[in-house]
Structure 1
Amino acid sequence: MYGYDFRNYAYPSIRRRIWHRVNAWRLGSISALQEKVLHDARSMESLLSSLIINVTEMYRDPELFLAFRKLVVPVLRTYPFIRIWHAGCSTGEEVLSMAILLHEEGLYDKARIYATDISEEVLNRAREAVFPLRKMQDYTRNYLLAGGTGGFSEYYAVKNEEVHFHRFLLDNVVFAQHNLVTDQSFNEFNVIFCRNVLIYFNKTLQDQVHRLFYESLSPLGILALGTRESINFSHHADDYEALDSREKLYRKIR
């Protein structure tokens, strides 16, 4: 009814989260949950928020972004235009991290960042680019470890215990709803970031998404995965070489 398909998500996690919502609403059965979400779209939105993991932070795993600066940015400088896809962008922290990195490397003006997620709710939060002030100490540390070349506080303004990132960082960002399970490729990209998303899929769905990314990457395009993810054992393992196997940076070679 709503167009979501969780059949190939990791079953133990999905089962646990469904029962969490059943108990939170004091429904007592899966049938009662089904009836509720079929007749109330807002309840479906709440269920969706329980099923989708939105854990992220700016410059998460800063060593990856440092490796990206050293190994990928020099290649991107040779391109007339750059297209980057952040698949499963959540609330946008990683997208802003990339925008700042490209800005500091003088590449932002010739880049277009596509930020997609299954949830329109989290995309709306990403479009706002507003985060709690209490997170900035950790984000600043990550920024410096990731090779940041300026003052991190220059990129935002503080208002009532919140930070509002400057809007120019979103000038070249396109936010759109996209479901990795059901939707197809929509462009050709030089870089695809999909970090800590595949770990929630079973092997069948992982292979499907790897095929989607392979078809969406340009020749010599870069794929960045999460720390617990790998291109190994996928059907496209031989189609990539590792730029940095520890940081899960891969280059499409055929």
Structure 2
Amino acid sequence: MTRSFYELSPQRMRDFDIELTLLLEAIYLKYQHDFRHYAMSSVRRRLTQALEEFDVLTLSQLQDRIIRSEADFNRLFHYLTVQVSDMFRDPPYFRALREHVLPLLQTYPSIKVWVAGCSTGEELWSLKILFDEAGLTERTLFYATDISPEALARAEAGIYALDRIAGFTRNYLASGGKHSLSDYYHAAYGGARFAGSLKERVVFADHSLSTDEVFLEAHLVSCRNVLIYFDRGLQDRALGLFERSLVRRGFLGLGSKESLRFSNHYSGFDEFRERERIYQKR
């Protein structure tokens, strides 16, 4: 069984980190996916798990595998991308959007929303429901982006396990939901399918916060629980993309453990709802 990184000897830990640097560089050169500035503690943990999955002893052996096999790289890709979310995760955030942000967005004749790092779509569909209940669906265009094609496909399908619905429903009601969550899904493929009419006016696209640039002018950017997996430099890069993307007085929503306060872009925003991590561009 593969030991965790912190159970290794000091010399083996140094060797592991050298191999890790080379592996991430190889991935960037071969596949143009840049994980070199992700938080290393998280990357170490996930790659330690990958060693066991691939039945290899070292990251050098793993590197040899993924350079020669795109299929092996695609398997490894799942370890390097975090696809964990819930509908209406952190209900106070969605309640703050409902009560304080959407009334201001209603003043625009058309609205664009960027859900960055949309993962498997739970946050996207949550926002779609929120905008639908505010009567903003017909004038809002959503852009849902992620670096994982598989995650985007799952997001577009909008199908989730039935055993997750009770948690989704609790979050929806706690966020100020106006109806029954069951109004927005139906049973399909052994799960609950949320897409249906919610799918209208949504654009799904591959986009990397590590390497890609601004591609739209948005009124709201929601990127939650993504920056925690980046180092400080990559966090600043992503926040710079969001700042340049937003219209004047546009809104940025971050995760509950994320903040603009110590970034290079803090001066470009007002703390609109600091407790819920919602900021407004100056």
TM-score range, shorter chain: over 0.9
Shift of 1:225: 0.3
**Counterparts in 2 of 1:109 and 1:51: CA distance versus 1, 3 Å:** same
Shift of 1:18: 1.4
Does the 8 A contact of 1:133 with 1:162 survive in 2? yes
- In the aligned structure 1, how far is the partner of 2:206 from the partner of 2:94? 25
Deviation string 1:121-174 (CA, Å, 9 cap, x unpaired) is 110111101011111111111111111111110111113641112411011111
CA RMSD of aligned residues (A): 1.0
Does the 8 A contact of 2:157 with 2:195 survive in 1? no
Match of 1:97 in 2: 126
- What is the identity percentage for the equivalent residue pairs of Structure 1 and Structure 2? 42
Does the 8 A contact of 1:134 with 1:161 survive in 2? no
Match of 2:250 in 1: 221
1:75 correspondence with 2:75: no
Match of 1:163 in 2: 192
Shift of 1:26: 1.2
Match of 1:110 in 2: 139
1:151 correspondence with 2:185: no
Does the 8 A contact of 1:157 with 1:166 survive in 2? no
Match of 1:185 in 2: 214
Q: Which has the higher helix share?
A: 2
Structure with bigger gyration radius: 2
Match of 2:233 in 1: 204
Deviation string 1:154-210 (CA, Å, 9 cap, x unpaired) is 111113641112411011111000000000000110000010110111111111111
Match of 1:62 in 2: 91
SS at match of 1:72: helix
**Larger relative contact order (Cα-Cα within 8 Å, sequence gap ≥ 6):** 1
Match of 1:173 in 2: 202
Structure 2 unaligned segments of length 5 or more: list them. Answer: 1-29
Does the 8 A contact of 2:219 with 2:250 survive in 1? yes
What TM-score comes out, normalization by structure 2 length? 0.88
Match of 2:10 in 1: none
SS at match of 1:59: coil
Moved beyond 4 Å, runs of 4+: none
Structure 1 unaligned segments of length 5 or more: list them. Answer: none
Q: Which amino acid aligns with 2:234?
A: L
Relative to structure 2, which stretch is displaced further, 209-218 or 154-163? 154-163
